[in-house]
């Protein structure tokens, strides 16, 4: 624990939805929900306007539509989110060499290590300047927490939302935490919170008063001791810079269970190619190929095969994934497929042909999940998790996994397009052979809406435009 609040936690406000509002002027101030748009899609992020209707992350998209029928429902545009994230993270690295990203929109910063803050005054000034710089460069708002520990800095940024700054003076931690819900503390989820509630503990103050021995008796030695330390505001974890990625993976959830074996093999091949694209984009190769299959009853099979050396060759990954699929029974139907690569390295095996022939099957099969609500919750929960070490952890939200679209379905709501006459715009919706496009761009006035045939030769998919001032 530090004597000065020089650990900063930045959390961008409703990041995905805020990026969409900034890049689509007609959506500013409107309810925006980003996520998988298919029947099995989940909410990745909801704007604050949508949250007033009860919409929240990891909620099934069907439920969100019932709560907020007039909201704008959009697919995620991860390439744009990463561009904006890179701008924000670069600003943090200008403050300190010790920056610990937790996701695209969240990070810890050790201000003392960067020599930019040593006391409460300089820490607050740095935090306010950072918020202003982010707003100027991206048009987005972020919330900042400042404290003497990582846990308290994160609690402070959450309390500061939206678009605020909260500094917790060292020595005031217990007083501040005492009235807060136990769910405020990191790692206290619904199950632990309910367990504590049944024991009559609902606030952090009550948790501290219970004592370590009682908490150990209730939830076990490791968890109990950790809970008691957090309730007292104690956390001595350092800010750790740039954790290396441990894996790269992609997965798709399908609107309708797949039964056709040929179709399933084709989807696995497509996922393998996308996985390699991500692998190469991160500058890595990998040694272990992983196949994930979630079946009709929510049970999940995970199989892996380890190669003699790391590779980033799509043919090798496709072959390995196909071999793994041969050992999986899919006759009952498949609702989700995934391909991943672990054992990452920054070099590749030269003899790709030899490594392909000499693969070593791990022979391991792990069954996860079960029928019913537990499996459904696991499927929905992946939409919001992208911890610092796992590349592609949000891939389920990024690619909702709809079957290969017919021409009438290729224009997903929220995707970028460009018309030869009217210029850049985005898809508001499509169907019955028509696609509706709103023509506007970041920084413009709300644009006009026009409708075209889905096969209009003058209308083409486009890359996202940068946010206003992003490259400044």
Pairing of β 448-453 and β 434-439: antiparallel
Rounded Cα distance between 236 and 239, Å, is: 10
Rounded Cα distance between 136 and 172, Å, is: 33
CA-closest candidate to residue 39, choices 431, 335, 332 = 335
Catalytic site positions: 106
* 90 Cβ neighbours under 8 A, 6+ residues apart: none
Which spans in 344-433 are helix H?
352-357, 373-381, 395-398
Pairing of β 7-12 and β 142-147: antiparallel
Rounded Cα distance between 175 and 154, Å, is: 17
CA-closest candidate to residue 397, choices 106, 33, 153 = 33
Rounded Cα distance between 399 and 251, Å, is: 8
**What are the DSSP calls for 419-431, one per residue?**
ETTTEEEEEEEEE
Rounded Cα distance between 159 and 57, Å, is: 18
Tokens of 459: 């209308």
């Amino acid at each position: 624990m530090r004597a000065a609040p020089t650990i900063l936690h930045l959390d961008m406000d409703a990041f995905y939805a805020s990026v969409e509002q900034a890049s689509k002027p007609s959506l500013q101030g409107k309810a925006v929900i980003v996520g998988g748009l298919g029947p099995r899609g989940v909410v990745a992020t909801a704007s604050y306007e949508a949250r007033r209707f009860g919409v929240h992350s990891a909620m099934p998209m069907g439920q969100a539509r019932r709560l907020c029928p007039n909201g704008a429902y959009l697919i995620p545009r991860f390439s744009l989110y990463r561009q904006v994230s890179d701008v924000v993270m670069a600003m943090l690295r200008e403050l300190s060499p010790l920056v610990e990203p937790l996701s695209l929109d969240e990070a810890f910063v050790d201000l003392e290590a960067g020599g930019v803050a040593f006391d409460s005054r300089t820490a607050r000034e740095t935090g306010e300047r950072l918020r202003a710089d982010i707003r100027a460069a991206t048009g987005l708002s972020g919330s900042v927490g400042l404290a003497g520990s990582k846990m308290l800095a994160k609690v402070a940024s959450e309390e500061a939302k939206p678009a605020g700054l909260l500094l917790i003076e060292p020595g005031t931690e217990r007083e501040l935490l005492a009235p807060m819900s136990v769910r405020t503390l990191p790692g206290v989820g619904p199950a632990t919170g309910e367990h504590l509630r049944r024991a009559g503990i609902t606030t952090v103050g009550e948790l501290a008063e219970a004592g370590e021995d009682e908490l150990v008796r209730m939830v076990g030695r490791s968890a109990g001791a950790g809970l008691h330390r957090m309730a007292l505001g104690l956390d001595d974890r350092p800010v750790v810079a740039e954790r290396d990625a441990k894996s790269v993976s992609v997965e798709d959830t399908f609107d309708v269970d797949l039964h056709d074996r040929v179709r399933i093999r084709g989807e696995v091949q497509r996922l393998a190619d996308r996985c390699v694209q991500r692998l190469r984009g991160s500058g890595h190769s990998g040694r272990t190929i992983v196949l994930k299959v979630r079946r009709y009853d929510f049970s999940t099979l995970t199989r892996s095969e380890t190669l003699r050396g790391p590779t980033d060759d799509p043919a090798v990954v496709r072959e390995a994934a196909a071999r793994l699929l041969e050992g999986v029974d899919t006759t009952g139907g498949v609702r989700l497929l995934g391909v991943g690569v672990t054992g990452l390295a920054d070099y590749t095996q030269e003899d790709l042909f030899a490594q392909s022939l000499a693969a070593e099957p791990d022979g391991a099969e792990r069954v996860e999940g079960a029928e019913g609500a537990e499996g459904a919750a696991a499927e929905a929960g992946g939409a919001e998790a992208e911890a610092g070490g796992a590349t592609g952890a949000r891939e389920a939200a990024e690619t909702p996994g709809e079957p290969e679209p017919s021409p009438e379905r290729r224009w997903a709501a929220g995707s970028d397009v460009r018309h030869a006459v009217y210029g850049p715009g985005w898809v508001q919706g499509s169907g019955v052979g028509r696609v509706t496009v709103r023509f506007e761009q970041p920084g413009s006035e709300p644009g006009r809406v026009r409708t075209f045939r889905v096969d209009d030769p003058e209308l083409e998919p486009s890359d996202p435009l940068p946010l206003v001032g992003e490259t400044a």
